[in-house]
Amino acid sequence: MDWSTHGCDIDAEPLHRYKKGGYHPIHLGDRLSNGRYKVLHKLGWGGYSTVWAARDIRSRFLRNIDDLS
């Protein structure tokens, strides 16, 4: 897909960075680390990572998950 033809007015990471060696696509409700963490909310993003709020299913605490590119 030619990402240069798609735009977005929302302040979010560029779609072209979602590729091998770049950002990893994560969706709300995804389970990470063998189901231990459930993704709840995107907290923000920057040049090297996206930060997600997730619930630790074992301890029930909220955690920050960094998706480093």
Report pLDDT for 50: 84
The confidence band for 5, taking pLDDT boundaries of 50, 70 and 90, is low
The confidence band for 53, taking pLDDT boundaries of 50, 70 and 90, is very high
Cross-strand bridge partners of residue 42: 52
CB 55 within 8 A of CB 66: no
Burial of 33 (0-12, 13-18, 19+ CB in 10 A): exposed
Where does the chain show beta strands of DSSP type E?
31-32, 37-45, 49-56, 62-68
Cross-strand bridge partners of residue 30: none
Q: Does the domain formed by 22-68 have CATH 2.30.290.10?
A: no
Residue 15 scores a pLDDT above 60: yes
CA distance 39 to 21: 21
* Structural domain spans, the chain: 22-68
